[in-house]
Amino acid sequence: MGAVQRKLTMFTQANYLPREPCDRSKAYSWDAKPKVDASNYTVENAVDTTVTKCSGNVNGQQFVIRNCHNASLYILDHINSVTIDDCVNCNIVLGPTQGSVFLRNCNNVRLASACQQLRARDCSAVDSWLCCSTQPSIESCSEMRFGSVLGGALLGRQAAGQQHGFRTGHEGSAGPAVVFEYMGTNCRETCQQVAARLTSGTHYISPQEPETTKKQIEAAFNTTQGMFS
């Protein structure tokens, strides 16, 4: 018992020894990361208006668009990924997107995007001009229509913006081409089969001033809108 008591005493005394103070001057990699203000990369509750983000405003961050109505949204910078939720009657144009574009619970939306993949869920009446490197994923959607968007057809192709260009592994036709219209409960399977056959090309951001770029985009929508009527 004596040996056990001595060990317990030594253990207890060791627990009460003063601890060395923490060195708060040490720098860690996670401390060095710049703070990101999410509000700079969010468009929310835009109604009856036009919102434009030009080159240098996003710089490869994730972007969120939600609860917008009767709005035209032009995100003309390179982007990491985009989430679009609860939008109604909107024109949405996205710059080259490294990851996926998520489209959820949207109605009567016209979308132009160059991205790795389009993922749509619970949407209806969506016209999409795409330049995708992988097959889109479509769940519980109806009235989905698809066309292709190529370099220079939607956004101005300027040398200053090509450093952030998005290129797929395919080269396609010289202009937008509507390939499919479908309405019904089987849209998940059928739309994916057709969307996978979209012609693709190269899509560049436009570094021009906002009004010029806006006119380019509006002209492209007006030109192709009749194909979806």
Residue numbers belonging to the annotated binding site for GTP: 99-100, 116-119
Beta bridge partners of 126: 109, 144
Q: What are the distances in angstroms from CA 72 to CA 36, 102, 113, 151, 172?
A: 25, 18, 14, 21, 27
Structure tokens at 34: 């710049």
As annotated, the binding site includes 99-100, 116-119
DSSP state of 24: T
- CA 169 – CA 116 distance, rounded (Å): 11
- CA 111 – CA 64 distance, rounded (Å): 14
- CA 160 – CA 229 distance, rounded (Å): 36
48: left (phi over 0), alpha (psi -120 to 50) or beta: left
H or E segment to which residue 63 belongs? strand 63-66
DSSP state of 143: E
Relative to beta strand 117-121, strand 100-104 is parallel
DSSP state of 160: G
